[in-house]
Structure 1
């Protein structure tokens, strides 16, 4: 019998499924701390599971600080579960944009750390990452990526760093950012602008300047999201085209930086995909 060195697919236990369902319920209903959950009998019937399995899952959630169990009274919410981590599409426009800002800030923590570590590796270790920038421009990929999120450069940097934990954190941060971005409905900035910022980061990496690489990556990921309504139109009837992201176009300090491209038309920036 041939032994294949591969791990079997992990199957979630019933307890895991119940816990996630309860957390999603708390998030969907936007239950605040102190809110009482339905009775054990009602929850078991709704989930179509046995009460012992439900009871065990609720004990585990209590241990995690999500629920508080009161003998003879029932289960109460101890910590609210954020809707953005279950279904961001249920949020209204203002909440979606708030979550996009938060997702961008959280992602920045990871990407800035990746850039700082990458700057200490040397040019040879970063050759593959740099090649991704040239390949996009020379192969016609730029047009394909013009109106979509693209994490290729950032992912190639983390691959060069080689820290599996940082790579996993980056993957999750980018996934949550992408979900928040798609739900927000904002328009991506021009690919040319994003590419110019990637080249600025590359210059700092080539120079081996850790502080500058971190600073330029942070600037690349800065996001200030707003909604602009057309004249005489109700706030709740904005079209997708009216959503925009105001971005600071200032040139970064330090040598080797490229000037930021001025926004076209009317002095406003259209979009904001800091990828």
Structure 2
């Protein structure tokens, strides 16, 4: 008969599985510090020796990293998504920018559609809360604050799609975006008029999601990223024209 004895799972393995799930689901993020050993043991309801055994296993696997005098942190597991060589290649070629936006349009359109259908009421509340923070930041002069909430808004939609592969892949790509590998996001938020258009586009996305309009949410995301693509293309063209004009001026002035 195809039956095997049931062996109770060690407490440390239960801890390992819970922390793995939190990382897998994107709840614990790369670089995030875990609570102290005493506090974590209390929250989990386990002994400190069992907790230490679990943490040691997670550190051996690379999911957690211990820093002397600072504590235990979630490892930078996203760093393996793209090699340093490939990142340098991305940053040196304009075509990577537009390929990146096209990829985002496809993936995030799908994520928005899934979020409208599969997202829980709490997922949608998270998205709405971040949008409201973006609205509040819109009134401030520093565009970097609004740009930061823009990234958080898009990632919250991906989280609400409940696809862990998409989540970690896109979170890795957003980290490169935050680091300016693809383009400087703050450029998009410099002009007040453009900031207003972008906010309206995010409002349209949010409204569709809150109404659980899957088709509308996907269309709104695709329209938004189409606008971003066109704006970046126009900016690149304007920079090329300015470079040519500067050469003409230098020539006229005998430089």
| 1:233 lines up with 2:252 in the alignment | no
- Matched with 2:76 is none
Q: Of the candidates 123, 127, 130, which is equivalent to residue 128 of structure 2? A: 130
Q: With CA pairs under 8 Å and 6+ residues apart, which has the higher RCO, 1 or 2?
A: 2
Distance 1:135 1:105, change over 3 A: same
The number of residue pairs the alignment matches comes to 160
Pairwise CA distance, 1:132: 1.1
Deviation at 1:145, TM superposition (A): 6.0
RMSD of the alignment, in Å? 3.3
Question: Is 1:145–1:191's contact at 8 Å kept on the other side of the alignment?
Answer: no
Normalising by structure 1, we get a TM-score of 0.49
Q: Is 2:169 the partner of 1:159? A: no
* Paired residues for 1:1-275 under 5 Å: 2-4=49-51, 5-6=54-55, 7-8=58-59, 10=61, 84-89=86-91, 91=92, 95=93, 97-121=94-118, 124-125=121-122, 126-138=124-136, 140=137, 143=140, 146-147=143-144, 148=147, 150-178=150-178, 179-182=181-184, 187-189=187-189, 190-222=194-226, 223-224=229-230, 225=233, 226-228=236-238, 229-230=241-242, 232-234=245-247
Q: Distance in 1 between matches of 2:208 and 2:88?
A: 38
CA–CA separation in structure 2 for the residues paired with 1:219 and 1:213: 10
Aligned partner of residue 212 in structure 2, secondary structure: coil
TM-score computed with the length of structure 2 as normaliser? 0.52
Structure 1, unmatched stretches of 5+, are 12-19, 25-82, 238-275
